[in-house]
Amino acid sequence: MNIDSITSTLLQLDVELPSWAFGNSGTRFKVFAQPGVPRTPYEKIDDAAQVHRYTGSAPSVALHIPWDKVEDYAELRRHAEQRGVRLGTINANVFQDDDYRLGSVTNPDPLIRKKAVAHLLDCIDVMDQTGSRDLKLWFSDGTNYPGQDNIRARQDRLAEALHAVYARLGDDQRLILEYKLFEPAFYTMDVPDWGTSFAHCLELGERAKVCVDTGHHAPGTNIEFIVAFLLRAGKLGAFDFNSRFYADDDLMVGSADPFQLFRILHEVSQGDGFDPRTEVAFMLDQCHNIEPKIPGQIRSVMNVQEAAAKALLVDTDALQRMQNAGDVLGANAVLMDAYNTDVRPMLAEHRRNLGLDPDPMAAYAASGYAQQIVAERVGGSPAGWGA
Ligand code: PSV
Ligand code: MN
Ligand code: MN
């Protein structure tokens, strides 16, 4: 194995952090308040910068608008840069307003559709100030009961809104359309799966791509197949990484099923998705309801790095030979050899070479930052849900 080529690929692997991972969160049953959580978007960025400081691999922070609404986005951008990170994907929010009870961009009421599209266009104004490349769209739109609304008309309204947004993008900006099987709508979602997102993105053009949130599929869905398909079609724009046992659990990536994460990243590797020129955004979309948030993010970045290192360890020549020879067990063994390799010593060495502590979790714990923010911050802001 060529360790140098693995580490040089790892060097280019940037994991984007979600601002909302640093605030209080929970389920619809209870939001648990943790001491020391950020009170402002500025403090969320301060905490995200800590994750980058100890991992060296999380140089950007995604914002959710209006959860991260500030007076001056250029100032927020400078604040991030002073902390050694940058502002990343802008996530639009058209799901937390009473007006959106029957949908946002697919609402039967044209005035509500207009309001939703206006927000999406405002988000592009924000991107112009933050220097962000990607606008991530997730719609909670859908129906709860058969007959509630016309499924086809809702697709027409969705297409119309997407076209209006796409037309407003700058030359270097992209529209990333996320899908989700169910929730909050329980009968139909208007963008329930990758096929729906893919079809709309194809219609829109080159700069519209699909976001695969790993928690947004039916149990048993072969996510790596979706990844392989989208990469082949040049339509994989981003990941929202997280783990799930049941539905959209938003647990730490690689915690529930590290083997699935490896299989997904093997397909990324096969499809040149680690090459920055392929422009796949590797983002976390997680909430740390019961565990401390900064170490939760550090652990998640490390989980992505470990799965990526294993995926890069796959002996692709041997794999292809076995595949071409129809050697089922041999091919499977090549893949499993890589998965079963302990890559932690290699990653520790990689960090040492970068001048980082080989153990980011321990280094953060020893830094005293956790105690400092508890002492300094009183009255943390919620992560966004219900904000
Ligand atoms: C929806 O479940 C989602 O995955 C979307 O990405 C939202 O923007 C995000 O969660 C908020 O956590
Ligand atoms: Mn998501
Ligand atoms: Mn989700």
Helix, strand or coil, per DSSP, at residue 289: coil
Whether 332 is covered by a domain: the verdict is no
Measured over the CA atoms of residue 348, residue 255, residue 57 and residue 212, the dihedral's sign is positive
Whether 356 is covered by a domain: the verdict is no
- 134-166, pLDDT tens digit by residue? 999 999 999 999 999 999 999 999 999 999 999
The model's pTM: 0.97
Whether 209 is covered by a domain: the verdict is yes
Q: Report whether pLDDT(1) > 80.
A: no
44 phi/psi in degrees, rounded to 5: -60, -40
| Mutate which of 91, 182, 186, 293 for ligand 1 pocket (most atoms within 8 A of beta carbon) | 91
Whether 217 is covered by a domain: the verdict is yes
CA 85 from centre of chain: 17
CB-CB contact of 28 with 319 (8 Å): no
Ligand 1 atom closest to 18 (CA): 12
Helix (H) or strand (E) holding 16: strand 15-18
Q: Which ligand is nearest to the CA of 91?
A: 1
CA 240 from centre of chain: 2
Percentage of the chain exceeding pLDDT 90: 95
- 342-367, pLDDT tens digit by residue? 999 999 999 999 999 999 999 999 99
Nearest C-alpha to atom 6 of ligand 1 is from which residue?
138
Nearest C-alpha to atom 7 of ligand 1 is from which residue?
138
**What is the pLDDT at residue 385?**
55
Total domains in the chain come to 1
Following CA atoms 305, 306, 312, 313 in sequence, which dihedral angle do they give, to the nearest 10 degrees? 160
Whether 215 is covered by a domain: the verdict is yes
Q: Which residue has the tokens 């953060």?
A: 364
Q: How far apart are CA 205 and CA 265, in angstroms?
A: 26
CB-CB contact of 284 with 300 (8 Å): yes
Whether 325 is covered by a domain: the verdict is no
The one-character DSSP state at 155 is H
| Residues facing 174 on adjacent strands | 134
CATH of residue 297: 3.20.20.150
Nearest C-alpha to atom 11 of ligand 1 is from which residue?
285
| Mutate which of 285, 286, 287, 385 for ligand 1 pocket (most atoms within 8 A of beta carbon) | 285
Which range of residues forms the domain containing residue 13? 3-314
Whether 26 is covered by a domain: the verdict is yes
Q: How far apart are CA 56 and CA 291, in angstroms?
A: 22
Q: Which ligand is nearest to the CA of 217?
A: 3
Whether 87 is covered by a domain: the verdict is yes
Residue ranges around ligand 1 (CB below 6 Å): 20, 91, 138, 178, 180, 213, 240, 248, 285
The model's confidence at residue 370, banded by pLDDT at 50, 70 and 90, is very high
Ligand 1 atom closest to 140 (CA): 1
**93 Cα–ligand 1 center, Å:** 9
- Provide mean pLDDT across the span 63-78: 98
Kind of pairing between the strands at 60-65 and 15-18: parallel
CA 328 from centre of chain: 34
